[in-house]
Amino acid sequence: MEPDSRIGRMSDWSTLRATHRRPLRVALLPCAGRGERAGGGRPKQYVEVSGRSVVHWTLLAFDELVGQGQLDGVAVVLSPGDEEFVQAVPPALRERLQVMPVGGATRAHSVWGGLQALAREGLGETDWVLVHDAARCLIEPAELLRLIVACEGDAVGGLLACPVPDTLKRADALGRVQDTVPRDHLWAAQTPQMFRLGLLRDVLGRALQAGIPVTDEAGAVEWAGQAPKLVAGPADNFKLTYPDDFRRAAEVLARRSTSIGTTP
Ligand code: CTP
Ligand code: MG
């Protein structure tokens, strides 16, 4: 018999859909990376920032939206054999998640594994999936809701992104400026990226099979010839990538907790 390695509750999406008049909205968090650029002895999503693990902070934002009835579930993709997630996220929160040990060699493979699992468990072709990096722990519920509102009536779907504020330089092999890239119309892609399960499975599966390097979901959708919608996101929804990002994230979280404390 196959061991049931799910840590959280199993969702029955088709039963849930019967109780909803709209397509379901499910968050899918790839959490199976190794965090090599961040250095440190462990995957960055399990590093503690301001008293909680990175992935715990991320999950709190999504859980709040579940509590508000705006999101119907949260699924987390882990590396097979991951033993750190259970230490990093408290049991009460884990109970409200679906955990899928189907992580792969790249982020795209992990997302692909998660989409396959969601489809197997009855999530429908027209239901929405919000893919979000576990390592992007500064996302706030209001931003998630803004993305949902902006995309749910859209034929393709979309993503949070930020207009690029800096002048951009292309480097040569010696690390010197080759030229300046006009930044007009350039946006830095963030997550969540919100697409219908059917579309995303189709394009991601085909892109992976074709050997296309896919770094985000929108990239696969574009590759298949469709134009995802850009939804302006907050500048502080950055992905913790390098060692210094943990300090920056702690500063943002400290600022937020102070402003919550002083709100009349
Ligand atoms: N991710 C994943 N499976 C992988 C690689 C990445 O689920 N094989 C997840 C990471 O856990 C992270 C998100 O995708 O939440 C964004 O990826 P990235 O920032 O590249 O994280 P890592 O791959 O862990 O970091 P690095 O590239 O520095 O090793
Ligand atoms: Mg990576």
Q: Is the confidence at residue 4, as pLDDT, over 60?
A: no
In this predicted model, what pLDDT tens digit does every residue of 170-207 receive, in sequence order?
A: 999 999 999 999 989 999 999 999 999 999 999 999 99
Task: Give the closest ligand to the alpha carbon of residue 34.
Answer: 1
Strands 98-100 and 73-77: parallel
DSSP state string for 113-158: HHHHHHHHTT--TTSEEEE--TT-TT--HHHHHHHHHHHTT-SSEE
Q: Compute the distance from residue 63 Cα to the ligand 2 centre, in Å.
A: 25
pLDDT for the residue numbered 5: 39
Q: Compute the distance from residue 107 Cα to the ligand 2 centre, in Å.
A: 6
Atom number in ligand 1 closest to CA 37: 28
Q: Compute the distance from residue 106 Cα to the ligand 2 centre, in Å.
A: 7
User: What is the pLDDT averaged over residues 217-241?
Assistant: 97
Given pLDDT bands bounded at 50, 70 and 90, which one contains residue 18? confident
Give the residue, out of 107, 115, 138, 239, with the most ligand 1 atoms within 8 A of its beta carbon, to mutate for a pocket test: 107
Q: Is the confidence at residue 1, as pLDDT, over 60?
A: no
Residues with CB under 6 A from ligand 1: 30-38, 43, 45, 77, 103-107, 110, 133-135, 239, 241
C-alpha–C-alpha distance, residues 96 and 215, integer Å: 28
Nearest C-alpha to atom 13 of ligand 1 is from which residue? 133
pTM above 0.75, yes or no: yes
Percentage of the chain beyond pLDDT 70 is 94
Given pLDDT bands bounded at 50, 70 and 90, which one contains residue 129? very high
Tell me what percent of the chain is helix, strand and coil, each rounded to the nearest 5.
35, 20, 45
Given pLDDT bands bounded at 50, 70 and 90, which one contains residue 262? low
- Residue 44 neighbours by CB distance under 10 Å: 27
Q: Is the confidence at residue 35, as pLDDT, over 70?
A: yes
pLDDT for the residue numbered 11: 63
Atom number in ligand 1 closest to CA 32: 7
Q: Which residue has the higher pLDDT, 219 or 2?
A: 219
